């Protein structure tokens, strides 16, 4: 079986989707109208250097993901969709749970709320099993650093208060085989520090209608197949709970998925090769 | 088929001439350019030459530096990098030859009517004649100034790049190559280019070469043997004694004749034909041969389809050597003699007498001279020719030497000439040229206006170019030339550089007027009208659509060449080199052998309070009894076979589920200390079945337990408790050797997961219970033994000398020796060593794979190289050649039945096994968390089980010796080596325990072998904490060990000077005081070296002056400025834009590593090549670096 995967924030780069906007003029115009600025200008030229800013990066990645998915889903039937964090919105659109415009409005609001949380950061921790990272975090005794993404067997991210994160990164970096790399995001995403933003986001989610999916989506919040009745709650929780990507992939594989495609780069495909068959 | 090739463009530079007119002036006047080596160049080389002499192993006593005379250029240390898309730093690190070739070819292509725009994407071939010559090279020079230059200098110093860079820069799609045939190289390149044109490989070809003498120091050792005593070349003269050095460059552009005519090209001459041959097997490789030269000329004439009687001039190779000139003369005579007996009709000469010998460049220079002779229709005088060499009988032959400039009459047909060039190694080339008589120029079309364009890469060049045009016009350069052709040529033949001028002109006078006016007052705006519009477009940066502007057939005419804006491009040799020079002193010799011993240890540290202890015990042992007696306050005991949790499954030593439950229990009960006491067996295993049970119960359980604790993220102290499992001293009786494997395993756990603190405690029957309690609760880690009430710990000591007090002959004549892992690299090396030491031994090589059946051997041996099986077959044959009787037995040493079968076979054939080398082994490969149990088991079996069974199978008839190949991992394991360390610790342990027995059992803990073996196969054979071991040294240690009475040696030399030596202290094993002192000393020295190196980089960066651009308000951050300094250091730009891209600046992935390192060191952050390739601009790099600096500050 085939599954299409959607990456989240972090894959943005200047020039992404350059040849797509002209091919989807209607969608692009709608996006500009929702966002209030030109998505094409941001993605192709980024004259104000906003692409690394959460506020702009999220709508940009989401929209380019969505256009790329249009092409891929026209070529092949997918049995599953799944997305990493922000990419989960693309999975919902691809599965027919949300329409593109509604999802973009949600993403725009999400980006706004998330970008308002500052003073935090994220770091990738490579080379250690998640249990080692958990133990190391416990040992540091820091109250405001958390495991944020479980991306692959020995690839995780931690996030939290900027100063505490730096201390934790140093301690974890000293473990054998570990490499800690600061990530270019402004907030402590996927940690309890995001809970207030998540609560505010619930208001936007409450206005949304989630249709039944025509293709199952595996949620990166739970690692289980998504129930549309729970969608609003999951998308709010997603802001402050870890991305369970290893579980997501394990579930997909257990369901019989053997082929994974990915839009907008190869980030998630690289994770796949580092998640052992269970 | 028309095989004529047109020469449509050329360039030439020699001392005192930068174009064909200047060159002809030198040739036609018979001038000789020989002079002393210029003072400025001497001065720049002085320190370097002094340095070379000071550092030469063979001292040069002569205090004076004496240079050859020659035809030297004034300067070779400047370049105009702007034209060639290079940055100043790149230009500076590029070989002057390389720069000269680019410049020569650029000028020749412009001369041919081809600017960059017209060339781009064309099927143009680039052919360069070049060789790296003896003596100093620029690369060597700049690397001696700073070895870091080497990496960045690669593309500017590899010979192939001479051609390839131009092809790359101009997007040329034809062949692009460098020919090296020594002195004939550029003429052979002309021949190759001609053939490529005729074969259709390209539509145009540029051919050339350049030559400088980097450092013409007189030194008898560096002479080739053809040098003239005074640097003057006196070809064909009685006083000739060799050739003088020449410097310069030359290039020609070739096209097929028909296309040159169709394109309206300016045709200098016609290349009618050519030939290349080799002298063959002459008396010596450098000896020329007149027959071969005669054949060459004949072949070229046939190729050109010309009658040699029609030749009026021959440009000889003519190196003016006593041997070469007569042979060349003889060759020419013989060639002509095959066609005519006429005498004295053909002039002979060589430009070497004027400009010296340009070696690889000399061929094309001779050709350019011949073209000048054809065009001027004058035979020039031969320079430095006074009295003919009496060995050359000119009067009797077809040739004569001209002593004055005289007209060359040719009433019966076009003038023709030949050019020779001979290589030192015997490759000869000859080309035949014919003058081109252009049809009379059509009447000027007039009727302007026309668009004249002019551009240059710098403003300075543009101004000078304008001035050069005015001078050219004033010197009648455009007389009789159609203004339409001038303008057409200006558009197509000159590249569209950044700085531009454009004039709409009616005639040459109008052009001059406008040039002068714009030079004086700046450019006037173009007039209205179509051509004015075109001018504006051009000035705005658009390319000229010359096809549209010149619809009719247009001709390429001669224009003044580009005027380069040269700047210094030279690495200065520091005059401070004497202070900086550190003549390395030989490293102090360090022992190559070490050992570990158990030495008395001080009392354990104070116990921690509040311990909650969980002990895993085997109820068939006394472990629980001992633990109960310790009086540990909070002790839970979990027995094998009893449920872990109430009503759960019984604790099964081999079941992963049991350990998951134990890990849960540890978490739930807040256990702080776990005692693994399952391996408390009182007596050693007596048979294979018991061994299997033991390894599963003890080693296997430790593996599963630690894995489960890691997976749960547990943090606790783990004591592995065993009973007399570790041999405390040589020959200690009744050691339960198999349980010693747990020691090796325990050493690795903490290195993979530091939250499990592992102590191995090995006790004897007399161990006091409270001492055991103290050890369990002590925060110390490592291996501790309690023997007769004493506390011992493991100490790593030096063995400076292996006492060879054992049997001096350990290999018997006719003895039989079994090597496990026998077809592996180490096994074969040992076998080879044995076969060499004692011819006639029987060698039984045991391996899992064995050898392929003999029938397959011929095919395998004939197959492609690199086949491992073929290599093994060869090695086995080699053993037989040494006189050994060799058997290869396919058997897995870890499989008891297979091993028994193999031994039975050996005994049946040879009787007794006299010695065993147990070299079989599989490497560890994964950390405990990710290790598959089956893989763990295989690693252990290949060493531990195999050793156990070898002992069992030879118990009745013990061999003289058994050598176990153990590993550094048994003392200093790396993460991922838990299984490997366990198995090797067993080998060490068993060897010690067997000391004094009937068999000399010796364990050798090898560090990585340098040339062969497991570490080489896995790419880890470099120096680490230890120097990798050369095979010869390893075999010497083996030999010494067998001649000693030792039971164990650690075979490896500590790499005290290495950057990893500090790791030695991170292990729990104690270091002997002498080792620890050396480590301390070297760590301090290393720290000093690193900080000095970093300080030097910071100082160098801070000294860089660079101006940042790109922000209108000039508002740049400090980090942007310091990042800009790092980039300017790499590229050499005086100004940098904050948004300029690393690659556009001339960066490539090769130099990215060093630039990233500079940035990292300068800012004190971790910044690597991947970061740089992602960031790419000053602004982005600085943004990232600021982030890293803030991150580091937060951490501090």
Domain ranges in chain A are 2-116+192-272, 120-183
> Which of A166, A175, A179, A183 is the best mutation test for B, with the most CBs of B within 10 A?
A166
From chain A, pick out residues whose CB is under 8 angstroms from the CB of B710: 129, 131-132
Q: Which residue has the tokens 């020919």?
A: B179
Q: Among A170, A176, A246, which would you mutate to test the B interface (most chain B Cβ atoms within 10 Å of its Cβ)?
A: A176
Rounded-to-integer distance, Cα B739 and Cα B759, Å: 15
- Whether B755 and A170 lie within 8 Å, measured CB to CB: no
Residue B585 in domain: no
Residues B179 and B277 in one domain: yes
pLDDT tens profile B528-547: 888 888 888 888 887 777 66
Q: Report residue B965's pLDDT band, with 50, 70 and 90 as the boundaries.
A: very high
Question: Higher pLDDT residue, B442 or B312?
Answer: B312
Q: Which of B1174, B1190, B1195, B1196 to mutate to test the interface with A (most CBs of A within 10 A)?
A: B1195
* CATH code, domain carrying B923: 3.40.50.720
Q: Which of B748, B754, B931, B935 to mutate to test the interface with A (most CBs of A within 10 A)?
A: B754
Instruction: Give the minimum alpha-carbon distance from B710 to chain A in angstroms, rounded to a whole number.
Output: 7
A185 → chain B, closest CA residue: B1187
CATH of the domain at B1141: 1.10.1200.10
Q: How far is B722 from chain A (nearest CA, A)?
A: 28
B710 touching chain A per CB within 8 A: yes
- Given a cut of 90, whether residue B890 has pLDDT beyond it is yes
Per-residue pLDDT averaged across B114-125, rounded?
A: 92
Is B787 within the bounds of a domain?
yes
A190 catalytic per annotation: yes
A139 to B927: CB separation less than 8 angstroms, yes or no: no
Q: How far is A163 from chain B (nearest CA, A)?
A: 5
Question: The tokens of A181 are what?
Answer: 């790399």
Which strand (E) or helix (H) includes residue B824? none
Phi, psi of B718 (to 5 degrees): -120, 120
CA distance A165 to chain B (A): 8
Q: What residues make up the domain containing B861? A: 816-1065
From chain B, the residues in CB contact with A169 under 8 A are 1191, 1195
- Closest CB to B754: pick one of A153, A175, A184: A175
The residue in chain A having the minimum alpha-carbon distance to the alpha carbon of residue B714 is A135
**Chain A contact present for B1187, CB below 8 A:** yes
Whether the predicted pLDDT of B345 surpasses 70:
yes
> What is residue B855's predicted lDDT score, i.e. its pLDDT?
87
Tokens of A102: 């509604």
Query: Is B752 in the A-facing interface, judged by CB distances under 8 Å?
Result: yes
Residues B625 and B498 in one domain: no
What pLDDT does B549 receive? 67
Active site residue A85: yes
Q: Is residue B768 part of a domain?
A: yes
Q: What is the pLDDT of residue B36?
A: 92
Find the residue in A nearest to B751 (Cα): A176
Of A131, A165, A166, the CB nearest to B713: A131
Interval B375-389 mean pLDDT: 94
Out of A84, A85, A186, A219, pick the active-site residue: A85
**Co-location of B1052 and B1135 in the same domain:** no
* CB spacing of A177 vs B751 below 8 angstroms: no
Reply yes or no on domain A120-183 having CATH 1.10.3720.10: no
Mean of pLDDT values over B354-372: 96
Does B440 fall in a domain? no
Confidence of residue B390 (pLDDT cuts 50, 70, 90): confident
Q: What percent of chain B has pLDDT over 90?
A: 70
Q: Which one is predicted more confidently, B1131 or B613?
A: B613
The answer on B977 and B954 residing in a single domain is yes
Q: Cα B584–B585–B589 angle (5° rounding)?
A: 135
B478: domain CATH number is 3.30.70.3290
Q: What is residue A26's predicted lDDT score, i.e. its pLDDT?
A: 95
Exposed, middle or buried, B872 (CB in 10 Å: 0-12/13-18/19+)?
Answer: buried
pLDDT: is B521 or A234 the higher one? A234
Our CA angle for A57, A59, A65, nearest 5°, is 95
Query: Can you tell me the distance from the alpha carbon of B662 to that of B641, in angstroms, rounded to the nearest whole number?
Result: 13
- Provide the pLDDT for residue B587: 64
The CA distance from A210 to the nearest CA of chain B, in Å, is: 38
Contact status of B1188 with chain A (Cβ, < 8 Å)? yes
Residue pLDDT, tens place only, B891-943: 999 999 999 999 999 999 999 999 999 999 988 778 999 899 999 999 999 99
Is pLDDT of B1188 > 90? no
* A·B CB contacts under 8 A: 50
pLDDT at B1154 over 90: no
Q: Assess whether pLDDT exceeds 60 at residue B1164.
A: yes
The partner residue sitting opposite A166, judged by closest CB among B712, B929, B1194, is B1194
The mean of the pLDDT values for chain A is: 93
Residue B62 has pLDDT above 80, yes or no: no
User: B1030-1047 pLDDT, tens per residue?
Assistant: 999 999 999 999 999 999
> Of the residues A84, A115, A190, A220, which is catalytic?
A190
Cβ neighbours of A153 in B, within 8 Å:
930
Tell me: do B1040 and B944 sit in the same domain: yes
Of residues B545 and B1147, more confidence is placed in B1147
Chain B residues with CB-CB distance to A167 below 8 A: 1194-1195
Query: In angstroms, what CA-CA distances link B859 with B752, B856, B873, B890?
Result: 47, 6, 11, 21
Verify that B1144 and B1056 share a domain, yes or no: no
- Is B581 among the domain residues? no
Q: Tell me the chain B residues in contact with residue A165 when contact means C-beta distances shorter than 8 Å.
A: 1194
pLDDT confidence of residue B583: 60
Question: Over chain B, what is the mean pLDDT?
Answer: 91
What is the pLDDT, as a whole number, of residue A78? 97
B507/B370 same-domain check = no
Q: What is the DSSP string of B196-254?
A: HHHHTS-SEEEEEEEE--S--B--GGG--S-B-SSS---TTBTT---B-EE-EEEEEEE
Inter-chain CB proximity A131 and B710 less than 8 Å = yes
Contact between chains at A169 and B755 (C-beta distance less than 8 A): no
Assigned fold of A2-116+192-272: Malonyl-Coenzyme A Acyl Carrier Protein; domain 2 (3.40.366)
Q: Which residues of A touch B1187 (CB under 8 A)?
A: 182, 184
| Mean pLDDT, residues B500-507 | 92
Out of B714, B753, B1194, name the one closest to residue A162 (CB). Answer: B1194
SS3 annotation, B991-1046: HHHCCCCCCEEEEEEECCECCCCHHHHCCCCCCCCEECECHHHHHHHHHHHHHCCC
User: Does a structural domain hold residue B230?
Assistant: yes
Which pLDDT score is estimated for B1059? 82
Give the pLDDT score at B496.
84
* Residue-level pLDDT at B608: 85
Q: Looking at the predicted structure, is the pLDDT value of residue A57 above 70? A: yes
Pairwise CA distance, residues B1146 & B1136, whole Å: 12
Instruction: Identify the CATH number of the domain in which residue B740 sits.
Output: 3.40.50.11460
Interchain pair A138, B713: CB under 8 A: yes
| Residue B791 main-chain phi, psi, to 5 deg | -100, 125
Whether residues B726 and B602 fall in one domain: yes
Asked whether the beta carbons of residue A166 and residue B751 sit closer than 8 angstroms, the reply is no
The verdict on B95 and B25 lying in the same domain is: yes
**Proportion of chain B above pLDDT 70, given as a percent:** 97
Closest alpha carbon within chain A to B1196: A167
Does one domain contain both B1039 and B1087?
A: no
Same domain assignment for residues B1027 and B1090: no
Classify residue B959: in a domain, yes or no. yes
Q: What is the mean pLDDT of residues A38-46?
A: 91
B627, B631, B634, B636 alpha-carbon torsion, rounded to 10°: 20
Whether the ipTM is more than 0.85: the answer is: no
Please determine, for residue B586, whether its predicted confidence score (pLDDT) is greater than 60.
no
Highest averaged pLDDT of the listed ranges B123-127, B550-554, B1081-1085: B123-127
A182–B930 CB contact, under 8 Å: no
Taking the CA of residue A173 and the nearest CA in chain B, the distance in Å comes to 12
Q: How confident is the model at residue B697 (pLDDT cuts 50, 70, 90)?
A: very high
Torsion sign, CA atoms B1063, B1064, B1070, B1072:
negative
pLDDT at A25: 94
Report the predicted TM-score, pTM, of the whole model to 2 decimal places.
Answer: 0.66
pLDDT greater than 60 at residue B585: no
Question: Does A176 contact B930 at a Cβ distance shorter than 8 Å?
Answer: no
Which residues in chain A touch residue B711, judged by CB atoms under 8 angstroms apart?
A: 129, 131
pLDDT of residue B819: 96
Give mean pLDDT, residues B209-213: 94
Domains: count for chain B: 5
B1178 and B1148 together in one domain: yes
Closest CA relative to residue B1006, chosen from B1131, B853, B1181, B829: B829
Mean pLDDT, residues B38-61 taken together? 84
pLDDT tens-place string over residues A149-169: 999 999 999 999 988 888 898
Which of the four pLDDT bands, split at 50, 70 and 90, describes residue B690?
Answer: very high
Residues A138-150 have a mean pLDDT of: 92
Q: pLDDT for B735-754, tens place per residue?
A: 999 999 999 999 999 999 99
Could B975 and A177 be called an inter-chain contact, meaning their C-beta atoms sit closer than 8 Å? Answer: yes
Distance from CA of B775 to the nearest CA of A (A): 24
In angstroms, rounded to a whole number, what is the distance separating the alpha carbons of residues A88 and B516? Answer: 70
């Amino acid at each position: 079986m085939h599954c299409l995967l959607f990456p989240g924030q972090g894959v943005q780069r200047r020039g992404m989707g350059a040849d797509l906007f002209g091919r989807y003029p209607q969608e692009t115009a709608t996006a500009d109208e929702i966002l209030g600025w030109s998505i094409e200008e941001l993605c192709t030229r980024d004259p104000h250097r906003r692409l690394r800013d959460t506020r702009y990066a999220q709508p940009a990645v989401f929209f380019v993901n969505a256009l790329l998915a249009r092409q891929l889903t026209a070529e092949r039937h997918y049995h599953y969709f799944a997305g990493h964090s922000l990419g989960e919105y693309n999975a919902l659109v691809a599965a027919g749970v949300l329409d593109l415009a509604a999802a973009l409005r949600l993403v725009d609001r999400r980006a706004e709320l998330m970008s308002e949380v500052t003073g935090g950061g994220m770091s990738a921790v490579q080379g250690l099993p998640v249990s080692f990272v958990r133990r190391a975090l416990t040992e540091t005794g820091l109250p405001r650093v958390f495991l944020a993404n479980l991306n692959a067997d020995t690839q995780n991210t931690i996030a939290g208060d900027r100063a505490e994160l730096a201390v934790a990164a140093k301690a974890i970096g000293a473990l054998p085989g570990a490499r800690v790399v600061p990530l270019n995001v402004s907030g402590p995403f996927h940690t309890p520090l995001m809970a207030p933003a998540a609560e505010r986001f619930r208001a936007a989610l409450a206005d949304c209608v989630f249709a039944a999916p025509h293709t199952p989506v595996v949620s990166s919040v739970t690692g289980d197949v998504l129930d549309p009745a729970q969608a609003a709650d999951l998308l709010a929780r997603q802001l402050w709970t870890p991305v369970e990507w290893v579980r997501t992939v394990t579930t997909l594989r257990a369901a019989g998925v053997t082929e994974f495609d990915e839009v907008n780069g190869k980030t998630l495909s690289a994770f796949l090769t580092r998640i052992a068959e269970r | 088929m028309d095989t004529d090739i047109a020469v449509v463009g050329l360039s030439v530079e020699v001392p005192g001439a930068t174009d064909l007119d200047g060159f002809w002036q030198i040739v036609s006047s018979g001038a000789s350019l020989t002079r002393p080596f210029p003072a400025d160049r001497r001065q720049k080389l002085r320190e370097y030459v002094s340095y070379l002499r000071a550092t030469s192993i063979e001292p040069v006593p002569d205090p004076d530096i004496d240079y050859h005379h020659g035809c030297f250029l004034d300067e070779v240390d400047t370049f105009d990098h702007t034209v060639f898309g290079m940055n100043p730093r790149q230009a500076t690190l590029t070989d002057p030859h390389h720069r000269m070739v680019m410049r020569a070819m650029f000028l020749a292509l412009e001369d041919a009517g081809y600017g960059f725009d017209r060339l781009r994407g064309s099927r143009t071939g680039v052919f360069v004649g070049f060789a790296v010559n003896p003596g100093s090279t620029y690369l060597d020079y700049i690397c001696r100034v700073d070895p870091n230059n080497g990496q960045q200098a690669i593309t500017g110093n590899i010979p192939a790049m001479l051609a390839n860079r131009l092809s790359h820069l101009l997007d040329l799609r034809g062949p692009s190559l460098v020919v090296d045939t020594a002195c004939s190289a550029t003429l052979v390149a002309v021949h190759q280019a001609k053939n490529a044109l005729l074969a259709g490989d390209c539509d145009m070809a540029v051919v050339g070469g350049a030559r400088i003498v980097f450092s013409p120091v007189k030194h008898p050792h560096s002479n080739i043997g053809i040098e003239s005593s005074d640097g003057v070349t006196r070809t064909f003269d009685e006083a000739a004694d060799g050739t003088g050095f020449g410097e310069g460059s030359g290039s020609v552009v070739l096209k097929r004749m028909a296309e040159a005519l169709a394109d309206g090209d300016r045709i200098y001459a016609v290349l009618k034909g050519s030939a290349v041959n080799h002298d063959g097997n002459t008396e010596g490789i450098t000896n020329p041969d007149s027959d071969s030269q005669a054949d060459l000329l004949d072949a070229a004439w046939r190729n050109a389809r010309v009658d040699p009687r029609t030749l009026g001039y021959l440009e000889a190779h003519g190196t003016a050597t006593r041997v070469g000139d007569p042979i060349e003369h003889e060759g020419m005579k013989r060639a002509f003699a095959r066609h005519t007996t006429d005498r004295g009709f053909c002039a002979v000469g060589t430009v070497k007498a004027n400009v010296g010998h340009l070696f690889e460049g000399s061929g094309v220079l001779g050709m350019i001279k011949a073209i000048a002779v054809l065009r001027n229709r004058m035979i020039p005088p031969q320079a430095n020719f006074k009295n003919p060499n009496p060995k050359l009988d000119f009067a009797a032959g077809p040739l004569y030497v001209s002593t004055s400039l005289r007209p060359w009459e040719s009433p019966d047909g076009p003038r023709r000439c030949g050019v020779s060039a001979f290589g030192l190694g015997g490759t000869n080339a000859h080309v035949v040229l014919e003058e081109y008589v252009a049809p009379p120029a059509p009447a000027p079309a007039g009727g302007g206006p026309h668009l004249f364009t002019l551009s240059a890469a710098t403003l300075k060049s543009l101004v000078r170019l304008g001035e050069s045009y005015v001078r050219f016009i004033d010197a009648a350069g455009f007389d009789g030339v159609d203004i339409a052709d001038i303008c057409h040529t200006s558009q197509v033949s000159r590249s569209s550089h950044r700085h531009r001028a454009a004039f709409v002109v009616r005639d040459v006078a109008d052009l001059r007027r406008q040039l002068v006016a714009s030079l004086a007052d700046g450019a006037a705006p173009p007039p209205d009208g179509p051509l004015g519009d075109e001018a504006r477009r051009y000035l705005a940066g658009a390319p000229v659509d010359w096809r549209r502007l010149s619809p009719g057939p247009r001709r390429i005419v001669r224009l003044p060449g580009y005027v380069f804006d040269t700047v210094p491009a030279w690495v200065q040799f520091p005059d401070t080199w004497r202070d900086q020079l550190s003549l390395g002193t030989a490293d102090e010799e360090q022992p190559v052998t070490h050992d570990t011993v158990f030495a008395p240890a001080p009392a354990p540290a104070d116990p921690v309070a509040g311990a909650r202890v969980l002990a895993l015990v085997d109820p068939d042992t006394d472990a629980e009894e001992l633990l109960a007696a310790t009086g540990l306050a909070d002790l839970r005991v979990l027995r094998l076979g009893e449920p872990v949790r109430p009503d759960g499954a019984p604790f099964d030593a081999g079941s992963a589920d049991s350990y998951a439950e134990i890990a849960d229990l540890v978490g739930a009960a807040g256990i702080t200390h776990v005692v693994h006491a399952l391996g408390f067996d009182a007596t050693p295993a007596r048979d294979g079945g018991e061994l299997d049970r033991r390894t599963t119960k003890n080693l296997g359980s430790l593996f599963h337990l630690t894995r489960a604790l890691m997976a749960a993220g547990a943090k606790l102290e783990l004591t592995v408790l065993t009973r007399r499992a570790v041999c405390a001293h040589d020959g200690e009786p009744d050691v339960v050797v198999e349980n010693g494997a747990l020691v090796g395993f325990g050493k690795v756990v903490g290195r993979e997961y530091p939250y499990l603190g592992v102590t191995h405690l090995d006790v004897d029957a007399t161990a006091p219970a409270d001492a055991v309690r103290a050890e369990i609760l002590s925060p110390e880690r490592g291996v501790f033994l309690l023997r007769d009430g004493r506390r011992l710990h493991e100490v790593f000591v030096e063995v400076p000398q292996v006492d060879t007090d054992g049997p001096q002959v350990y290999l018997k004549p006719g003895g039989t020796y079994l090597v496990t892992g026998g077809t592996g690299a180490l096994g074969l090396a040992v076998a080879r060593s044995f076969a060499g030491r004692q011819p006639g031994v029987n060698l039984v090589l045991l391996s899992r794979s064995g050898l392929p059946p003999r029938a397959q051997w011929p095919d395998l041996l004939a197959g492609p190289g690199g086949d491992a099986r073929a290599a093994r077959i060869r090695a086995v044959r080699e053993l037989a050649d040494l006189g050994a009787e060799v058997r290869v037995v396919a058997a897995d040493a870890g499989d008891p039945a297979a091993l028994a079968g193999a031994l039975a076979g050996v005994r049946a054939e040879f009787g007794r096994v006299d010695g065993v080398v147990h070299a079989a082994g599989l490497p560890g490969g994964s950390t405990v968390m990710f290790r598959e149990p089956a893989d763990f088991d295989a690693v252990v079996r290949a060493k531990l089980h195999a050793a156990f069974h070898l002992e069992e199978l030879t118990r009745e008839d013990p061999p003289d010796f058994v050598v176990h190949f153990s590993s550094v991992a048994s003392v200093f394991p790396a993460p991922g080596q838990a299984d490997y360390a366990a198995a090797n610790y067993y080998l060490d342990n068993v060897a010690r325990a067997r000391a004094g027995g009937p068999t000399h059992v010796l364990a050798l803990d090898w560090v990585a072998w340098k040339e062969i073996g497991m570490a080489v196969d896995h790419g880890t054979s470099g120096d680490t904490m230890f120097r990798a071991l050369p095979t010869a040294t390893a075999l010497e240690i083996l030999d010494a060990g067998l001649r000693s009475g030792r039971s164990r040696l650690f075979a490896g030399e500590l790499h005290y000077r290495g950057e990893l030596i500090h790791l030695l202290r991170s292990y729990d094993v104690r270091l002997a005081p002498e080792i620890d002192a050396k480590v301390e000393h070297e760590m301090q020295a290393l720290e000093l070296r690193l900080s000095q190196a970093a300080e030097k980089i910071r100082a160098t960066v801070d000294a860089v002056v660079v101006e940042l651009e790109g922000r209108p308000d000039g508002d740049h951050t400090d980090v942007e400025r310091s990042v800009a300094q790092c980039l300017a250091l790499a590229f050499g730009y005086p100004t940098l834009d904050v948004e300029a891209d690393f690659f556009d600046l001339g960066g490539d992935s090769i130099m990215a590593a060093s630039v990233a390192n500079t940035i990292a060191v300068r800012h004190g952050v971790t910044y690597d090549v991947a970061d740089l390739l992602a960031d790419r601009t000053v602004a982005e790099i600085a943004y990232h670096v600021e982030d890293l600096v803030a991150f580091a500050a937060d951490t501090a």
